[in-house]
Amino acid sequence: MDWGAVVVAAGRGTRMGAADNKPYLQLAGRSVLAHTLDAFERCSVVSSIVLVVTSGEQKKAAEIIASEGFRKVKLIVPGGAERQDSVYAGLAVLDTEGVLVHDAARPLITSGQVEACCLAAEEHGSAALAVRVKDTIKVSDGNGFIVATPERQTLWSVQTPQAFLRLELMHAHRQAQEVGASATDDAMLLERLGRKVAIVEGNYANIKITTPEDLPIAELLLARRYEEGVRE
């Protein structure tokens, strides 16, 4: 199966409190976006990348791609008002059979994890990277009181990338648009249609850059990865 990737970098990043949006912040000497795209550039099963950015930031993104020498990024397109709109904008310009959707704010993703998602989706139809929940989770009644405690063994914290058949994911997006349904990730859209999404166990290091505290944590994780690579 041929695979393309939609990398979503169109968020506003208000919780960062920075002048630049998250993809353009510096992380260990490179932009967050460069770290993210590098994993997909290195993954042999991915043939093309569509980058979805905030309107007006196409030039900034193109400069990073050119300076880093990324060859798989075929198009840079403006995103929409919501994440779903941005993902759909990327899907619409891809022509691959399979598609990976990934948040640009997860720069510690590895090419091995990307490939694992593709292989799982080829076997099961769709797949999502996730890690087991460590904490005990409580369900509230909305008024500040606990009403239930789910079994921790069944709980997973989902990440990206998530891998799908492109046409099926586009169908799921259109169905959601018709009824005004929103979802915080693309797996939810498949779930709405009764599809099963396979879990690919990921790594806790695949953090999402959301607040200022996340950048130094990501730098420490990158340094550890480099040291382990040197030792190997």
| pTM across the whole model | 0.94
Give the pLDDT confidence of 83-101 residue by residue, as tens digits: 999 999 999 999 999 999 9
Q: What is the pLDDT of residue 227?
A: 81
Phi and psi for 12 in degrees, rounded to 5?
-90, -25
Domain spans, the chain: 3-231
Q: What is the pLDDT of residue 183?
A: 95
* Residue 11 pLDDT > 80: no
Phi and psi for 229 in degrees, rounded to 5?
-65, -40
Task: Please compute the mean of the pLDDT values over residues 4-28 and round it to a whole number.
Answer: 82
Query: How far is Cα 65 from Cα 70, in angstroms, rounded to an integer?
Result: 5
Range from 8-22, 55-69, 126-140, 215-229 carrying the lowest mean pLDDT? 8-22
* Residue 18 pLDDT > 90: no
- Bridge partners, 139 (sequence order): 148
Q: What is the pLDDT of residue 132?
A: 98
Give the pLDDT confidence of 101-146 residue by residue, as tens digits: 999 999 999 999 999 999 999 999 999 999 999 999 999 999 999 9
What is 3-231's CATH number? 3.90.550.10
* Residue 231 pLDDT > 60: no
Q: What is the pLDDT of residue 16?
A: 60
Query: How far is Cα 167 from Cα 88, in angstroms, rounded to an integer?
Result: 11
Q: What is the pLDDT of residue 14?
A: 60
Helix axes 166-179, 83-91, angle to 10 degrees: 140
Q: What is the pLDDT of residue 19?
A: 59
